[in-house]
Structures are given as C-alpha cells and as structure tokens.
Chains A and B, each alone.
Chain A
Amino acid sequence: MSNKPISGPHVAATRRVDQIMRLVIIALAPATACGVLLFGWPALYLLAVTVLSAMAFEGLCLKMKGVAAMPYLRDGSAIVTGLLVAMTLPPWAPWWIGVVGSALAIVLGKHVYGGLGQNLFNPAMLARVALLISFPIEMTTWANVSPLLTGPGVIDSLAITFGGLENPDAVTGATTLGWVKTEFSQNRLLPGSLIEYSGLLAFLGWERGSLGETSSVLLLAGGIWLMRQGVIKWHIPVSLLLSIFVMSAVFHTWDSQHYMGPWVHLNSGAVMLVAFFIATDYVTSPNTPLGQVIFGAGCGLLIFVIRSWGGYPEGTGFAILLMNAVTPLIDHYIRPRIYGRYRNGKPLDISNT
C-alpha cells in the first residue's frame, strides 16, 4: 500500500489519449483507403512517406527536448498529424512535399510551441497553407482519378512519387473549385462551367482533389461514427456545415450565375475533412459548447467568403488558421455560467431565484 497522500477520485474513466487517437485514425481510415484506391500507388507512397516522416520528426523533436520519445510516439498524435497532412496533399505530389509538410506540421506547428496540447494553430492546416504558398505548382497539380488497379503500376508509381511527373498535362486537371474560379476569370459563368459536374460522383469521391478529401460520404460516415464514440461533439461540425449551407443557399438563390449552390460547396475541397477532423481538433478549438458553435460558424463563414471572393479557389486552410487565432479570444469571453452566479460572475440575487 502506498502512503503517498493523494486526493480523490480514486477511480478513473478508461479512455486515454492514445485510445482517442486510435479512434480518430480508425475514423479516417475509410476516406484514406478510398483516396488510395482512387489515385493508386503514388498516393500510397506519399501517404507512407508523410506519416513516417511525421513520426521521425516527432521523435527528433522529443529527443532534442530531452524526454523519452517512446511514450509520446505511442500516443499516436504524430500519426494522426501525419495522416491529416497526407490527406490534404495532391495525391501525386512528389515525396518531398510530404516530408516538408510533416516537418512544418510537427516542428513548426507543434513542437515550437511546446509540444502536444500547446500549439495555437492546427499543425496539418499550418503545413497545408505554408506548402500552398511556397510550392503553388506542386500543390495544385491534381491527378486524374486513376484507380489502383488500372492506373500506373507499382514501379511506375515509384517514379511518379520519387522522380516527378514527366508530362503532367496528360494525367492531371483542375478540381471543381479551381475550374470554376478559372472559368470566372474567362468570364464564363456558372451553370455553364459546371456542365460536366456530377453531384453524386463528388459525394462518393470520384473526382480530382486531395488524397483524402474527395469522398464526402466516407468522411461524413467517419465523422458521425466519431461523434457516436463520444470523441468529438456535434457543435463544431454542425455549425460549420450549416453556416456554409446557409450562406451558399442564400447567395445561390440570389445570383446563381456567380455563386455555387450548397451541394457543390459541401462536397468540394476539404469541407468534410475540415468539419469533422480538423476544426474539431481539441487543442486549437474553444472549450465551451457556445464557443465551439461560434468557432464552427466562423470557419464556415470564412470558407465561403474566401471561396466566393478571395484569390484562392479553396479557403479551408486559411479559414481554420484564422479561427484558430481567434480561439483564445473566444475562450476568454465565452465561459460557462458558474452555479449560483450570473454570467458576469456576480452571485445570484436571492429575490430572483
């Protein structure tokens, strides 16, 4: 019997950090697998390089910090970060994009701030935005859908990931959002530019896009499963998706030539991934339910604003980083009401109770 004085509780719930991370990985698995199936071996190689380098950078940082790396590597947070970085990359991006992305996410996005739980910005989004600004060509070269079995073979794919694409124009194209933006610049307006767009294929994931972002249905399923597991709460995903829906519905109804409808918005780019897996990042989102609703709605709003009026076709990364920056402010002002007190902290008046 230990005599160390310890206050209660003397029992504890059994869900630990590593279990939470494992559940997140499981929830991300279907969408990731779908990405690999749709974009073939190069996607798998990029995924492996990114995740492995994320773990390597994690281990390196922990070693420099002077702590035992194993317990932290085992908690799985580096794998989740690496996985999320990989999922946001163009599937046929060269290997060094994955490595640099992991380095940005783990070193600059996480350990510079003090490691797990200390970062201000979501590491994966930080990496994505930094890569997009630094390497715009590589980050916007979108491979056509070329499934695992019919696309380039195991060896050819090695050349794509580690040697680079030889004739990109033949096997790549634009994403829906990018296409629409380019068409606008050519003064071609909406219903026409989306003539080949299939809402169903976009929902299922059969379209050009980032490695793990195309399949809305699988991301949605993973997110809902994660909610049912109690890992994430409904507040952020629902408010985020709802605000995009409302904004796009209003503007689309008002001017359908210049504004895409809600279905296109919700099924394009990173919205589903961000709503369930990025915006819900514990560390960089507010603590209170109301704060989370404000955060989610803010993300949705910014995504719509950047997509509709900004210079980039996709705005999820910027929207998340901006709202991450606002999180401390939200947490400062939005606090739960304490029992027996008004929201401003004053005790309740007896006459009012």
Chain B
Amino acid sequence: MFALFENPRLRGGIHAEEHKSETSPLSIATDFPLPKKLYIPVQQHVGKPAEPVVKVGEKVLKGQLLAYSQGTISAPVHAPTSGVIADVKDFPAPHPSALPIRTVVIESDGKEQWAELIVPEDPFQLEPEEICQRVGAAGVVGLGGAVFPSAVKLSLGRKNKIHTLLINAGECEPYLTCDDRLMQERAEQIVAGIRLMLRGMDAPKALVGIEDNKPEAFAAMQAASQSFANIVVAQVPTRYPMGWDRQMLRYLTGQEIPADGRATDIGVVVHNVATAFAVYQAICLGQPLISRVVTVSGAAVAKPRNVEVPIGTLMSEVLAFCGLEKSKMARLVMGGPMMGDALPIAEVPVVKACNGILALSAADIDEPAVQPCIRCSSCVTACPVGLLPLEMASRIKANQLDSAVDLGLKDCISCGSCSYVCPSNIPLVHYFKFASGELVKRQQAEHKSEQTKRLIEDRNERMERARLEAEAEALRAQEARAARLAAAQQAQQAPAEETV
C-alpha cells in the first residue's frame, strides 16, 4: 500500500541547479605548473595519521614514501614530486576550522624525477592479496570524499562473500565534473582499475552507476567495458543525493543496507569511480596516489575547469591558475556546494579528499534571513533517508536531543536536501550537526563522570579496606598486649606461689 505514495527504490532528493556545463565540456588541464612548495598533510584519510619517515633536508624522489601507514585503518602518503624536505611542521588543514595538522613540506627541484616504480608484468595475474597490498602501499583512499583506505575495503570484501562491486559514478553534487571528465577521458584505465578491484576481492561482477546527466561519460564507459561481460554500466536518474551509496544501491539492486550494518553485510562493496582510476595507477603503473583531478568552479572563477594537480598544492595557487577574481569570492568551498566544507582561507593544501574547489560569489550563496518554520514539509519530501527534519530541528531548538535521536537524528547523512528546499531558509543541517556534536560531548562527559565516579568508589573502597585492616591490626595488637600482660602477671604470680 505504501508503494502508492513513494517509489520504493528512489526516495526524496532534490534537483539543484547543476552548474556542470561550465566545466564538463572542457578537457582536464594537465599543464598545471609545478608549485615551488608542496604541503602534504600526514592525515588525508579516515583512521590513524601516517608517521613521517623523512627528515628535514633529505632529498626525495617523486612517488617516494613520506609517511608510513600506522595500524590497520590508515594510509601512507608519498612525495608528489622530487625535491628536498623543507620542513615537517604543523600547517593549516583544509577544514572549516583551518586548524593546523602535521604536514610535510617539500621544496620541489623541478626535475620531476620518479623513484623506482614496480610494475608487474601482467597485473591481472597478481594474487588478490598482492593487489590489496599494493593498493594499500600506494596510499589509495576513497576519492568520493569519504577517504576510507581502499585496501581495507578490498580485504573486507575478500573476507565477506561479495556478489557485487558497485562503482559509484553518480557525481550528484552540483558544479563537480571531475569524475565525469575522468570517465570521458580515461575510461579504459578506469575499467582496468575495476577489473583489478574485482580480482582483489574475488567478486564476480561490477555495477557502475552514472547519473543520466553525463551521457558522454556513460557512452565512454560502456565502450570501454564492452568486452567485459562482468562489468555492467547503468544509468541512474539525476537526483541529488544519488551519489549516496545506499541510495544508488537501492535504486540499482533494490537492496537496502540495514541501519546498523555495512554494505558488505549484504554482499556489496562500494567504491568511487576515481578510486578505480587510482587503483589502476597503483597496480599497472606502480604509481602511488600523488595527484588528483579537481573541479575548480564558481562564479568568482574566470576560467572554470578540471585541473589535475599534485596533492599538497595550495588551493590559492590552483584558484590563481583558473583566474580567481578575489573581490567576487564570497565563500570558498572544498567539495560540492551541498556537502562541501566552507574554508576560511585559501592557503591550505589540496588533499586526496578534495574533488572540488568552488569560489562562490555572493549571488551563488544568496542567504535571506531565517524565517519561522511553516511546516510545509518540503524537507520531509526531500529527505532521502525518510526523516522528519522539521520535527528534529524543533526538538533540537528546545534542547531535547534525546527526542531528536528517537526521531532518527543518527540516521541523518547531512546531505543538505532539507536545508536546500526550506522556504524559510532554516539551516536544518546545521542544527543536526550541532546536535550530533552535543551528543558526542555529552557522551564524553558522561564517560568522564563515570570514570571519576569509579575512581572515587575505588578510593573509598581502598580507604575502607585500609581502615578495616588498621582496626584489625589494632585489635590484634591489643589482644597480643593483653595476652602478654596476662602472661607476665601469671609469671609473676607463679614464682610468688612457689616462694610461698
């Protein structure tokens, strides 16, 4: 009966102004001049930060290991060019706070001298373990934005029985076209990457989902995968957030991932299309992940286009390359305009996660005053998860966080569809992020108070034990004294009796 009211495979979502035509017809610029200095943060992935292995003053070659992966969920970083290590210091990170993180600074020598690359004779004959190991060593992480170490996902896929590898080529964020261009220009390599991933996971088939606003990319991918029956390229409707892996999976397979589970639980692993290209580079060319394609766009950019830039390039330099008109820029965003982060400064490095640099003008981010909620329920219609954003926001406003959690706060994916459609311009996602932060803070405080309570209890117990022991000791001493006294008295009396 409910099927009457919602397409079970596709729910919610919005259709934002695309702004893709500015960059999608232009080929990827590969003539970006090598910057003098590159800033490579040791943490560009989910998990533990990598540990630097280079010293200041050391000469490094392009592709050489800079910092090694620590622990199971981590990824190494490599030198994007040859040069000298100028510094290992704290440097502002591409994050809304721009707080500094540990960063390796390379002064390039301009020679682009490669380190020795290990290229297998036939990459498709490599053992699955070997593929995972090489992908991990190349520092490949999920390039869709989540930056989860890819090798971990591949091994996870091998351990669980996987029936489908889903390649997410939705690229549903407005403005961004880097995956689109990559597919148009390098489809063969992407398909090679997909085949390697399939081999690495012992998975039988791959499914590539591309939004139908990218017909050229779809055609290119279809042509490239024609001779491989186990790779199916499919079109999906253009509707943000189609690139939410769970949404795409549901649309293409009808399967839904349980709220407390992962894709592997239902036999699926999802990788981004750019990650497939990085896997190809890592295995077939032996090159670690040291550069990526970035969409530079927005009304404040005179020459918007996709640029292949070395990791560690300052965003300000990339923007200058594309003709930034500084006075027009009202907001700088890393990523897409829906889920990207607003950055306070442009002097931060491009990292593996950075798929877009948007210099938005005041007209792009037109922000009228926030008005009261009129309960129009546009947000309910737009939510792809099936939440009630208006109810959650009103609870959070009243500081009833538990009630917001009951309504599904933890299932929110922060896609921003609700804020986008809100006619009252209520920053709903802002509320949800705030509430999630508050919950974490509260959890930590609770944990701390529990710990404190435990320590106090332990101490009291210890003191009590000590007191009891002291008392027992005193009692024993008293008894001993009494016994001694009695014995002495007896001894005194006894001789007396004898003498009598």
Contacts and interface: CB of A to CB of B under 8 A. Distances in A.
**A and B co-occur in one complex:** yes
Interface of A: 1-3, 5-17, 19-20, 71, 75, 77, 115-118, 233, 235, 282-283, 287-290, 293, 331, 335-341, 345, 347-350, 353
B388 interface: yes
A235 B380 CA distance: 14
B429 A283 contact: no
26 contacts: A3-B344, A5-B342, A6-B430, A7-B342, A8-B337, A8-B342, A10-B333, A10-B364, A11-B338, A12-B425, A17-B371, A20-B374, A20-B423, A71-B369, A117-B373, A235-B5, A283-B375, A287-B388, A287-B390, A287-B391, A337-B2, A338-B259, A339-B384, A341-B258, A345-B408, A348-B257
Given A7-B427, A13-B421, A349-B258, A282 B374 contact: yes
Interface string B22-33: 000000000000
Given A340-B258, A347-B261, A9 B429 contact: yes
Interface in B366-390: 366-369, 371-377, 380-381, 383-388, 390
B341 interface: yes
Given A10-B338, A287-B380, A293-B5, 6 more contacts: A7-B433, A282-B377, A336-B388, A339-B256, A340-B260, A349-B258
A12 B367 CA distance: 8
A348 B17 CA distance: 35
B423 A16 contact: yes
- Most B CB within 10 A of own CB, among A20, A75, A117, A235: A117
Contacts of A336: 6, 380, 383, 386-388
B364 to A, nearest CB: 6
- Most B CB within 10 A of own CB, among A10, A293, A337, A340: A10
A340 B257 contact: yes
Nearest to A20: B423
B67 interface: no
A283 B423 contact: no
Contacts of A339: 11, 246, 250, 256, 259, 384-386, 411
A97 B343 CA distance: 57
Given A12-B425, A13-B420, A339-B386, A116 B342 contact: no
Contacts of B443: none
Contacts of A8: 333, 337-342, 414, 416, 419, 429
Contacts of B387: 336, 338
A347 B331 contact: no
B364 A11 contact: yes
Given A289-B6, A338-B408, A340-B257, A117 B430 contact: no
A255 to B, nearest CB: 32
A283 B377 CA distance: 9
A10 B342 contact: yes
A11 B174 contact: yes
A350 B261 contact: yes
Interface in B269-295: none
Contacts of A5: 96-97, 342, 344
A217 to B, nearest CB: 27
B390 to A, nearest CB: 7
A254 B143 CA distance: 68
A289 B342 CA distance: 35
A2 B266 contact: no
B360 interface: yes
A11 B256 CA distance: 29
Contacts of A347: 258-261
Contacts of A293: 5
B18 to A, nearest CB: 11
Contact of A350 (B258, B369, B390): B258
A353 B258 contact: yes
Nearest to B5: A289
B385 to A, nearest CB: 5
Interface in B135-189: 174
A1 B411 CA distance: 33
A1 B332 contact: yes
Nearest to A3: B344
Contacts of B339: 8-9
Interface in B96-142: 96-97
A117 to B, nearest CB: 5
B450 interface: no
Contact of B372 (A7, A14, A115, A337): A115
A2 B330 contact: yes
B255 interface: yes
Contacts of A75: 371
Contacts of B371: 16-17, 71, 75, 116
